[in-house]
Structure 1
Amino acid sequence: MNRQPILVTGPARSGKSSWAERLAHESGRRVVYLATAREDPNDPEWQARIAAHRRRRPVYWQTLCEPVELAAAIRSAGEVCLLVDSLGSWVANLLALDDVAWSEQVDALLAVLAQPLADPLILVAEECGWGVIPPYPSGRLFRDRLGELIQRIGPFCAAVWLVTGGYALDLRRLGVPLA
């Protein structure tokens, strides 16, 4: 596996997490799954989704939860294949930040990604905004921040996978980068 991050992106329920898990398994390294979602014991449906993700992963994979300090968590991961799932949850966790604080978080993450990595890093991100513009400000803010984040991360990645319709496409190999 390359020493640059790998980005796996796609719409909801597209298989992007499963594809990222496959890539992590194929790395041959010990895998740490870094979950960015906040657990909510008052939301049984959300807890069921988290449990389904856990059941799908091998029991010997370690799971860490870090909903906010993503850059620091990546820096301190150690000698493992780190699978971050997902950037969308991370963005959602930080929606209350003003533009300056948000930019600082993004800059910290990009600074980590700009450094040569000693170990494999796989980032999962949701694609949104392929349809209706959200009718409320927080939805538009989420869509805009996540879309811009994915665009800024892509150039740092050895591969950018789009998972949709049951297929994984390597956009770095098949696509043309924007200026």
Structure 2
Amino acid sequence: MFELILGGVRSGKSQLAEQRLTSGNGTCGYIATADSAAYQDDASFRDRINLHRQRRPDHWELIEEPLYLARAIEHSSADRLLVDCLGVWLTNLLLKKDPLLLQQEQSALVATLESNDKDVILVSSEVGFGVIPMGDLSRDFVDQLGLFNQQLAAKADKVWLSIAGLAQQLK
């Protein structure tokens, strides 16, 4: 089973995902997609990473994986997993400038989500409420994430939208 939680920046989507993760039975794991070393010159993003670290209980399994999510899910020993976040993961893949790698990893993630026996909660940014951004990379990000969110939402068992800390179950 897998769930998709969507929302904007600071919408409460990660906190909702953490609550959903702990509401079930079994061991919990967290897959962080941010590569903290890549953000060592970005104090604001480091603060975001630290906030997430502080909220996570020490007994949760932690996997830091910026690219190969399917493999991380398969190798996790946890029964229930939270993946935070697909927007950062997609950015990591887009910066590799390898469309084949992007397509392979998206396909591998979908296949793993459909075939594994773990409960997985995916956090992703909802980017469809804003203006069409200027710049090729920004436009590509918005297009790719929007399309991938649609693909995942169609297959997910549950889909949530978080706005201003309020959650609405969409599916």
The residue aligned with 1:38 is: 35
- Whether the 8 Å contact between 1:8 and 1:163 is mirrored in structure 2 is yes
Which residue in 2 is equivalent to 1:157?
Answer: 156
**Which amino acid in the other structure matches residue 113 of structure 1?**
L
1:25 aligns with 2:37: no
RMSD (CA atoms): 1.4
Contact 1:113–1:156 (Cα < 8 Å) also in 2: no
Q: CA deviation at 1:44?
A: 2.1
Which residue of structure 2 aligns with residue 102 of structure 1? 102
SS at match of 1:46: helix
1:132-168 deviations in whole A, cap 9, x for unaligned?
Answer: 1111100001101111111111122110011113321
Match of 2:161, SS state, is strand
1:16 corresponding residue in structure 2:
13
For residues 3-56 of structure 1, give each alpha carbon's deviation from its aligned partner in whole angstroms, at most 9, with x where no partner exists: x10111111100000000001111132111100011122222221111111111
- Secondary structure at 2:168 match in 1: strand
Structure 2 SS opposite 1:110:
helix
* CA deviation vs aligned residue, 1:47-90 (integer Å, no higher than 9, x gap): 11111111112222222100001111111113421100000010
Distance in structure 1 (CA, Å) of the matches to 2:97 and 2:41 = 24
In structure 2, distance between residues paired with 1:47 and 1:159: 30
1:130 counterpart SS class: coil
Structure 1 unpaired stretches of 5+? 173-179
| Count of aligned pairs between the two proteins | 168
Distance 1:100 1:67 in 2: 17
Q: After the TM superposition, which residues 98-177 of structure 1 pair with which residues of structure 2 at under 5 Å, given as runs? A: 98-115=98-115, 117-172=116-171
SS for the counterpart of 1:83 is strand
Letter in 2 for 1:142: F
More helix by share: 2
Query: 1:77 and 2:76 equivalent?
Result: yes
Aligned AA (2:136): P
Contact residue 30 and residue 63 of structure 2 kept, 8 A: yes
Task: Give the direction of change, closer, same or farther, for the CA distance of 1:12–1:109 in structure 2 (3 Å limit).
Answer: same
List alignment gaps of at least 5 residues for structure 2.
Answer: none
| Percent pairwise identity | 38
Give the aligned partner of residue 5 of structure 1: 2
